[in-house]
Amino acid sequence: MTAMQFIERFWQDIAAWALLIDIIVTGLTLVWVLHLKRETMSAIAWSLTVILVPFLGAFLFFLFGYQWVARPLRRKQQRRRLFRQICAWSSEASVPVPRRWQMLARLAEHAEGFPVTAGNAVEFYHEGKPLYAALLEAIGAARHHVHIEFFIFRSDACGEQFIEALSAAARRGVIVRFLYDSIGAHDLSRRLLRHVRRAGGRHAPFLPVLNPLYRLRVNLRNHRKIVVVDGRVAFTGGFNIGQEYLGLDRRYGFWRDTHMRLEGPVVAGLQRLFLEDWHFATGEAVKGEEYYPKWSEPQGEVLAQVVASGPDGEYKAIRETYFAAIVQARRRVWLASPYFVPDSGLRDALCLAARSGVDVRFLTLFRPDKWLPFLAARFYWSDLLDAGGKIYQYIPGMLHSKYLLVDGQWASVGTANFDNRSLFLNFEVNCQFFDTAVTQKLEEQFLSDLAQAVRVDREVFAQRPWMSRIFENGARLFSPVL
């Protein structure tokens, strides 16, 4: 009997069993959705998807909706606590910050966060070429260890250059640990990884997607970019490793981003964060005073604090500091991000600030690299424009910077975009600065970028074609995972 004949003979039985299985799968998935999703709109959206799209809806929730309670993330929480006990990292109290910003410092430190540190120096990079030169110089000067973690790491000429630098460091006796996201760096060649390993370095993927223990968790990614050299110099921000970040990819054109080089006690926070991720990925608990050197004198005058968040905890420190900073604004809120898909609370905070007379400006990209989040963002632009906010689109190329500036006195810079994916799903890291000089430097760059941007006219935007509105409405339905 052929397959077709079997189906023709037993199609009624097959249909009945399929219906029964679908009812069972749908019922169990709905219970799962209601148990996990605390936000009402997210619960409704997933419930409708599961009900209206048989089998596929349940699979999509399994793939994209099951976020925080996955076993590997619970295990990461447990390992994080164990790791901190093993390493006995300094838990000194935060240094005083201006009274107005004390709440932001407490929010960032809440739930095993990092303290505010004094005596730091920071240098910003807005283009790939000078940043890559600084990174390679730091790796070349390493004496004890190089810790490097990126979301995207290409196998192109840039990737090969960094692999050679890491391998050279390993050959001269430097401890090299290289961590990469298994989705973001999916095209990282085994040849380059072997080159690092044969030189004596170590490498590991974060949440390998094909590992059955991780249940195809494609939705939970490590979006952090951290480089720590000898525990004394650290880099973090928006740049990854690849030709496009030098402006050499025609799809993106000129690449505008924000990265930073840090020296001082704040480096210990980024060091600890990297080693926590490394511990989770490899099981190796790295400890020793050489990873947390003492500073005999200040490296600068900047008050800085590491702010980290991820799906391994319910408390989202970056999101909370963003919200509190916007609510506290009295004069201006300047935001740069390629993606703008915030939750309702952050949208309300921005609109409230704009309605109360605060100068709210949002700088984003003009030519999208990803259409779905771009269309979803346009759906929410109307709310901000109607409230009196200003939206600008950067013309020269790809705007990839991620920072929030408030009243010329406070800044948060790092890897987190202003969207649900960064604030709820990804592992991210920012640094917040309680420093007027640092904030003013970023404001100067922001104004320079505005001079090369086009402002979105509220009336013109309101008259956009109905077809565009339909696509925007459709795209915003995916907001929980964008």
Q: In this predicted model, which residue has the larger pLDDT, 36 or 241?
A: 241
Let me know if 230 is a catalytic residue: yes
Let me know if 279 is a catalytic residue: no
Looking at the structure, tell me whether residues 353 and 275 fall in a common domain: no
Give the pLDDT of residue 370: 87
Q: Work out how many domains the chain is built from and give that number.
A: 3
In this predicted structure, the answer to whether residue 29 has a pLDDT above a threshold of 90 is no
**Residue of 181, 277, 407, 449 marked active site:** 407
Looking at the structure, tell me whether residues 193 and 246 fall in a common domain: yes
Looking at the structure, tell me whether residues 56 and 76 fall in a common domain: no
Indicate the pLDDT class of residue 445, thresholds 50, 70 and 90: very high
| Phi (first) and psi of residue 228, to 5 degrees | -125, 130
Looking at the structure, tell me whether residues 128 and 255 fall in a common domain: yes
**Residue of 76, 195, 225, 316 marked active site:** 225
**100 located within any domain:** no
From the centroid of its chain, how far is CA 101?
23
Give the pLDDT of residue 296: 83
**Residue of 145, 402, 435, 449 marked active site:** 402
**Residue of 126, 145, 223, 316 marked active site:** 223
Let me know if 186 is a catalytic residue: no
CATH for 388: 3.30.870.10
Q: In this predicted model, which residue has the larger pLDDT, 203 or 40?
A: 203
Looking at the structure, tell me whether residues 256 and 369 fall in a common domain: no
Give the pLDDT of residue 452: 97
Looking at the structure, tell me whether residues 272 and 205 fall in a common domain: yes
- Poorest-confidence range of 20-24, 136-140, 336-340, 359-363? 20-24
Give the pLDDT of residue 80: 62
**104 located within any domain:** no
Q: Average pLDDT over the chain, rounded to whole?
A: 88
- Poorest-confidence range of 54-58, 355-359, 455-459? 54-58
**110 located within any domain:** no
In this predicted structure, the answer to whether residue 359 has a pLDDT above a threshold of 60 is yes
In this predicted structure, the answer to whether residue 16 has a pLDDT above a threshold of 90 is no
Looking at the structure, tell me whether residues 410 and 371 fall in a common domain: yes
**Residue of 145, 195, 230, 419 marked active site:** 230
Looking at the structure, tell me whether residues 121 and 200 fall in a common domain: yes
State the pTM of this model.
0.87
In this predicted structure, the answer to whether residue 69 has a pLDDT above a threshold of 50 is no
Looking at the structure, tell me whether residues 290 and 343 fall in a common domain: no
Looking at the structure, tell me whether residues 262 and 376 fall in a common domain: no
Looking at the structure, tell me whether residues 380 and 450 fall in a common domain: yes
Give the pLDDT of residue 216: 47
Let me know if 156 is a catalytic residue: no
Let me know if 223 is a catalytic residue: yes
Let me know if 147 is a catalytic residue: no
- CA dist 296 to 120, 232, 235, Å? 12, 12, 21
**Residue of 400, 419, 435, 449 marked active site:** 400
Range of 400's domain?
317-481
Looking at the structure, tell me whether residues 363 and 408 fall in a common domain: yes
Mean pLDDT of 342-369: 95
